[in-house]
């Protein structure tokens, strides 16, 4: 199976390196500029429970490099989806499985919109609870082990199964599930409860579980997400307890949103908190705590942007 990965941040490097070590090196797609030959780089993975791992991966900037890929994994930030996919669109085969493993809601719909000529049945959604932190240009720390769930795509069930097998062989346990929306909302509740607070308070995940003030806000957010999910037919089992448990289990981790806010990069607030608020309003549900977090994060990003930080 030929796999290409769009996105060379923490998760892209982690998935790419582990696939390269255990299965077959994927092609890492970088900012497209045409005519540039793939460049091979050494990628290193650190983890707390194993020695460092290394492998060499090809990084391609020429859009034609994606020709022949059986699967394209989309791992860019949610807000970058359309622009990131645009250069590669003319070179994707109609048989290629395009799978989003991004944070938040609406990612499959974004991919479908960005690839209007691609068969909808070959565009799938997934969710992963693996955690990674980029610690160098091509070095990543595997900071939390989890599971990856892949949703059904009508046209390529065999390819999805092969991808799940490849990820599992690479040490990233994966399954194909018919109810992918359940997994997406479950992770969304955790992300919404933890990420915004860690970003605004400037703390590691563990503070959400150990500080009563933050735990109270996280609990309120998780319950608001669950209320919106219920309107869409998704029932979350005690999402507040799950979020606090995840915060405790990943106590030393720093959320991607916290890192984005600290470094002045654009966060995924729109795909996480903003998406919840939008769907809540459409359903006539109040989500005051989630809406407040979204407003505060956007305000911070706006101030940083105006300062030019």
Q: Are 102 and 80 in contact (CB under 8 A)?
A: no
Cα separation of the two ends of the chain: 42
Task: Give the percent of the chain with pLDDT over 90.
Answer: 89
Rounded to 5 degrees, what are φ and ψ at 140?
-135, 145
Tell me the three state secondary structure of residue 21: helix
pLDDT on residue 308: 53
Which one is catalytic: 108, 122, 187, 273? 187
Looking at 143, 178, 213, which one is the last position of a domain?
178
**pLDDT classification of 309: cutoffs 50, 70, 90:** low
Q: Is 77 a catalytic residue?
A: no
Same domain assignment for residues 189 and 157: no
- Give the chain's domain count: 2
Q: Please write the tens of the pLDDT for every residue from 116-163.
A: 999 999 999 999 999 999 999 999 999 999 999 999 877 778 899 999
pLDDT on residue 174: 97
Tell me the three state secondary structure of residue 118: coil
Give the CATH number for residue 210: 1.10.1040.10
Same domain assignment for residues 22 and 147: yes
Same domain assignment for residues 144 and 39: yes
Q: Please write the tens of the pLDDT for every residue from 1-13.
A: 999 999 999 999 9
Same domain assignment for residues 199 and 143: no
Q: Please write the tens of the pLDDT for every residue from 234-255.
A: 999 999 999 999 999 999 999 9
pLDDT on residue 31: 79
Average pLDDT over the chain, rounded to an integer: 94
pLDDT on residue 3: 98
Same domain assignment for residues 51 and 159: yes
Same domain assignment for residues 167 and 76: yes
Same domain assignment for residues 13 and 153: yes
Give the Å distances, CA to CA, from 232 to 182, 227, 266, 280, 305. Answer: 10, 9, 28, 10, 35
At residue 44, does pLDDT exceed 70? yes
CA distance 245 to 41: 37
pLDDT on residue 50: 84
pTM of this prediction?
Answer: 0.94
pLDDT on residue 157: 81
Same domain assignment for residues 263 and 153: no
Looking at 158, 178, 198, which one is the last position of a domain?
178
Which domain does 289 fall in, by range? 181-307
């Amino acid at each position: 199976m030929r796999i290409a990965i769009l996105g060379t941040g923490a998760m892209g490097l982690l998935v790419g390196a582990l696939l390269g070590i255990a299965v077959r090196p994927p092609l890492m797609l970088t900012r497209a500029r045409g005519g540039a030959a793939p460049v091979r780089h050494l990628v290193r993975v650190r983890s707390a429970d194993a020695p460092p791992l290394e492998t060499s991966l090809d990084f391609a900037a020429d859009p034609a490099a994606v020709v022949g890929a059986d699967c394209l994994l989309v791992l860019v930030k949610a807000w970058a989806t359309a622009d990131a996919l645009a250069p590669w669109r003319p070179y994707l085969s109609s048989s290629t499985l395009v799978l989003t493993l991004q944070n938040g809601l609406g990612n499959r719909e974004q991919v479908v919109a960005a690839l209007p000529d691609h068969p909808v049945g070959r565009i799938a959604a997934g969710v992963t609870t693996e955690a990674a932190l980029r610690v160098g240009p091509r070095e990543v720390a595997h900071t939390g082990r989890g599971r990856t769930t892949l949703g059904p795509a009508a046209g390529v069930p065999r390819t999805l199964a092969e991808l799940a097998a490849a990820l599992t062989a690479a040490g990233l346990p994966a399954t194909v599930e018919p109810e992918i929306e359940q997994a997406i909302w479950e992770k969304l509740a955790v992300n919404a409860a933890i990420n915004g607070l860690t970003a605004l308070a400037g703390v590691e995940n563990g503070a959400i579980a150990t500080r009563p003030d933050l735990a109270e806000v996280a609990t309120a957010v998780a319950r608001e997400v669950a209320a919106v999910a219920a309107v869409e037919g998704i029932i979350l089992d005690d999402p507040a307890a799950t979020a606090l448990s995840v915060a405790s289990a990943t106590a030393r981790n720093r959320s991607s949103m916290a890192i984005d806010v600290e470094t002045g990069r654009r966060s995924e607030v729109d795909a996480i908190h903003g998406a919840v608020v939008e769907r809540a309003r459409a359903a006539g549900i109040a989500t005051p705590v989630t809406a407040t977090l979204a407003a505060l994060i956007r305000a911070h990003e706006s101030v940083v942007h105006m300062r030019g930080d």
